[in-house]
Structure 1
Amino acid sequence: MKDRIISVDIFRGLTIVLMILVNTPGTWSAVYAPFLHADWHGYTPTDLVFPFFLFIVGTSIVFAYKDKPVNAKSYKKITIRALKLIGLGLFLGAFTITFPFIKDFAEIRFPGVLQRIGVVFFFAAILFLNVNWKTLIGICVFLLIGYWLLMGFVPVGGMESTFERAPNNLANYVDLNVLGSHMWKEDYDPEGLLSTIPAICSSLLGIFTGLVLTSKQPKKTTLMIGIGGSLLLLGHLWDFIFPINKALWTSSFVLVTAGWANMFLALIYYLTDVRGMEFGSIFRYAGANAIIVYFLSSFITKLFYSIKVAEDTSLHGWLFDTIYVHDFMSMQFSSLLYGLSVVAFYCLLAYVLYQRKIFIKV
């Protein structure tokens, strides 16, 4: 497209910035509640961040592949990009600071954020190239209802299924039996195998919004708000029988988060693309190199936690205690200030890359 949709770039960058912020507090023992995930059912502002990124992945697929031919070259590009994302995620999971710089095989976590982005991107892009929007809606409905039926009605280990964190939770059961020790925790993984199925729908719903934005529809803002409100209503109604849950990526969670994504994107779209207001450029810079900025933040954070400046003190902990902890500030505020400093660094890095026209595509 000749004219970029500024709001999409801002939304993508804002999401990456928020992902970095919620992942890098000064200390996990002192974090304001909105910057933490829900314990299990329900959701907090932090729980919106990752599904927002999968949503905008779907929206971006429309801009990238709307006029692309359906051929082997397109499939090759999609596959290579997906494999790069999965590879970067596996590297983060396997890397350790001590020689030979790779964890023992049994300790490597296979799932992860970048792995899920890669898998979701692959299926969403392939579907977008091959079926029309009506079929996409049908696939989305089928996957969300099918996931609910699987999770709610398939007996697990001879027991009635549950949505709680328990051995008879089907998603947990599948991950434990397939992944074993390669999980985030012994009894569940937030980027597990079965829960990746509804996560694909988070991107499919983003595709629908991308089709709205690229259409000749005159009232795009109103339409996005209508879609968002409808998804929020349906998601919260579904919550009564299939609880909103990020760890399980429940169908109600997909609808609610896509609803909020439409609402926020509609607001940014109205202010920037309709009214012509100029703001959020720093987020556009971050969005231009979104994946590499996120990868670097994750890798460097891992280094900071791994490098020891004393027997029981990491470089991360030393920096936090030395620079940010003061008697006149609460520990939660100090922790947030550390996270904001990290965000500022990566925003500056994104700005420099943008100004030098360096765009690292993954």
Structure 2
Amino acid sequence: MTQTNRFISLDVFRGLIICLMIIVNTPGSHDTIFAPLEHAAWNGFTLADLVFPSFLFAVGNALFFTMQKSKTLSLGQVLAKIGKRTGLLFLLGFLLYWFPFFKTNEAGHVVFKTFAETRVMGVLQRIALCYGIASLLLYYCKPKGAFLVAVGLLIAYQGILFWFGEPGHELSMVGNAVTKLDLWLLGPAHMNHGEEVPFEPEGILSTLPAIANVVAGYLVGWYIQSAGKTKKMLAWLTGSGAALTLLGLCWGIVFPINKNLWTSSFVLYTVGLDCLLLAAIIYIVDFLNITRWTRFFEVFGRNALFIYLLSEVVAILLRASHLYKWIFNHFFSFPGLYTGSLVFAIWFMLMCWLTGLILDKRKIYIRV
């Protein structure tokens, strides 16, 4: 497998995930979403639930190539690079939830949104922490050590939830150990309020098993690099994906697949699906040499972080100005609320893609 094609496959995988992420995050109406594009309410799994763990898997894939370039750097330079990227990602995520920094109070006046009511954890924050911890594990413990630590985290996480959760309610939204820790460390004002009670789907404790998604992505990237473009590599990737998916389903019998708690069964199940998806992309791109379709997703993949941030900022501004609902009602609701909601999401995704295309044509790639 040539290096160019390998990067194409990774860009396509990452771009496909970003494309789906934008569609999932920006429906015309959150009240009318087709079931596969809506997250499972609690236990269970939908297509939307695959997006976030797949992005972490892609971070691990990219991390392999990044760490190869770091072999010529000193320990201080490596740690500074990891620390800088972790800090910037976390800060961007935090500022994203604080944005637009102002709100309208009960009297109708525009006031500054204080830190006291700002969500601390979130998507980019989890990506930052998983990237930073996985990078340190892989640097100090090497791939084998990082793999063992990741397995240990998955096993220990189940024990922690059942040991520290409320008896009989260990895996409920209120009684789980993840929420208890977040309430103690962050406080309800700094948590997500999208549910009936304060609950942080990107909680501090549930970030631990998510590290395994990044480590898995790294190990897969490492194997693909070392094995090369062979049928054996493709068979191994496909077989591993099928085995992990089945293992995740089996583990889910006693430790249910749950994105909100990021259960260990959820990790294995999503890593397995990611291996199968990546294997399919590599087969089509590198073995069948069918690449005409890849350009669309490469645009997303080459500026994944920027396009994700752009989609979130634009959506926030449109909602704050009430244009979001107005555009949906006046231009997209005519096919029906559910179909119109999906068409709106696809339109929004395509607008983001056009921005990415302009950047790609100008060879502008924004990295953190």
On whether the aligned pair clears a TM of 0.5, the verdict is: yes
8 A contact 2:241–2:272 mirrored in 1: yes
* 1:165-200 deviations in Å (ceiling 9; x for gaps): 12x211111111211110012431110100000011
Give the match for residue 42 of structure 2.
40
**Structure-1 separation of matches of 2:48 and 2:111:** 31
Q: Which residue of 1 aligns with 2:80?
A: 76
Residue 357 of structure 1 pairs with residue 363 of structure 2: yes
CA distance in structure 2 between the partners assigned to 1:303 and 1:220 by the alignment: 46
1:194 to 205, 226, 231: 205
Larger deviation, residues 122-131 vs 84-93: 122-131
Q: Retained in 2: the 8 A contact 1:297–1:346?
A: yes
TM superposition shift of 1:107: 1.4
- Partner residue, 1:179: 186
Unaligned runs of 5+ in 1: 308-313
Q: 2:131 maps to which residue? A: 121
Q: C-alpha separation between the residues in 1 aligned to 2:164 and 2:119?
A: 27
Aligned partners of 1:63, 1:200: CA distance in 2, in Å? 18
Structure 1: distance between partners of 2:28 and 2:13: 25
Task: Tell me, in whole angstroms, the C-alpha distance in 1 between the residues paired with 2:331 and 2:51.
Answer: 28
Q: Distance in 2 between matches of 1:238 and 1:43?
A: 14
**Deviation per residue, 1:294-346 (Å, 9 max, x gap):** 00110110010101xxxxxx1111111111122xx221000001000001111
State the match for 1:292 in structure 2.
306
Post-superposition CA distance 1:7-57 (Å, at most 9, x none):
111000111111111000000111100110001001100000000000010
Q: Is the 8 A contact 1:85 1:114 kept in 2?
A: yes
What CA distance in whole angstroms lies between the structure 2 residues aligned with 1:187 and 1:207? 34
| RMSD of Structure 2 on Structure 1 (CA) | 1.6
Work out whether residues 225 and 266 of structure 1, in 8 Å CA contact, stay in contact via their aligned partners in 2. yes
Structure 1 residues 25-36: aligned runs within 5 Å: 25-36=27-38
- Deviating beyond 6 angstroms after TM superposition, the runs of 4 or more aligned structure 1 residues are none
Deviation (angstroms), 1:277 = 1.2
Secondary structure of the residue that 2:205 maps to in structure 1? Answer: coil
SS at match of 1:335: helix
Residue 351 of structure 1 deviates from its aligned partner by 0.9
Contact kept, 8 Å, 1:94 with 1:108, in 2: the verdict is yes
Shift of 1:104: 1.9
Q: 2:18 aligns with which of 16, 19, 37?
A: 16
The alpha carbon displacement at 1:142 in A equals: 0.4
* Equivalent AA in structure 2 for residue 283 of structure 1: F
Among residues 322, 342, 345, which one is paired with 1:339 in the alignment?
345
The residue correspondences of 1:1-362 to structure 2 (distance < 5 A) are 2-5=3-6, 6-69=8-71, 71-96=75-100, 98=102, 102-156=112-166, 159=167, 162-166=170-174, 168-180=175-187, 181-185=189-193, 186-216=197-227, 218=230, 219-278=232-291, 279-307=293-321, 314-326=322-334, 329-362=335-368
Deviation at 1:234, TM superposition (A): 1.0
With normalisation by structure 2, the TM-score equals: 0.92
Question: CA offset at residue 96 of structure 1?
Answer: 2.6
2:191 is paired with a residue whose SS is: coil
SS in 1 for 2:39: coil
Letter in 2 for 1:178: L
Q: 3-state DSSP class of the match of 2:29?
A: coil
User: Structure 2: where are the runs of 5+ without partners?
Assistant: 104-109
Alpha-carbon distance between aligned partners in 1 of 2:297 and 2:80, rounded to the nearest angstrom: 30
Note closer, same or farther for the CA distance 1:56–1:101 as it changes in structure 2 (3 Å cut). Answer: farther
Looking at structure 1, the residues matched to 214 and 165 of structure 2 have their Cα atoms a distance apart, in angstroms, of 29
- Helix, strand or coil at the partner of 1:50: helix
Does the 8 A contact of 1:51 with 1:257 survive in 2? yes
Cα contact 1:82–1:118 (8 A) shared by 2: yes
Instruction: Provide closer, same or farther for how the CA distance between residues 127 and 4 of structure 1 changes in structure 2, counting only shifts above 3 A.
Output: farther
Distance, in Å, in 2 between the alignment partners of 1:197 and 1:102 is 34
Q: 2:216, 2:271 within 8 Å by CA — same for their partners in 1?
A: yes
Paired residues, number:
351
Change (3 A) 1:236 1:301: same
- Write 1 or 2 for the structure with the bigger share of helix: 2
CA contact (8 A) 1:24 1:339 kept: yes
Q: Which moved more, 1:100-109 or 1:12-21?
A: 100-109
Instruction: Report the identity percentage.
Output: 36
Conserved? CA contact 1:165–1:187, under 8 Å: no
Do 1:21 and 1:340's aligned partners in 2 also have CA atoms closer than 8 Å?
yes
Distance 1:271 1:101, change over 3 A: farther
Residues 198, 249 of structure 1: 8 Å contact kept: yes
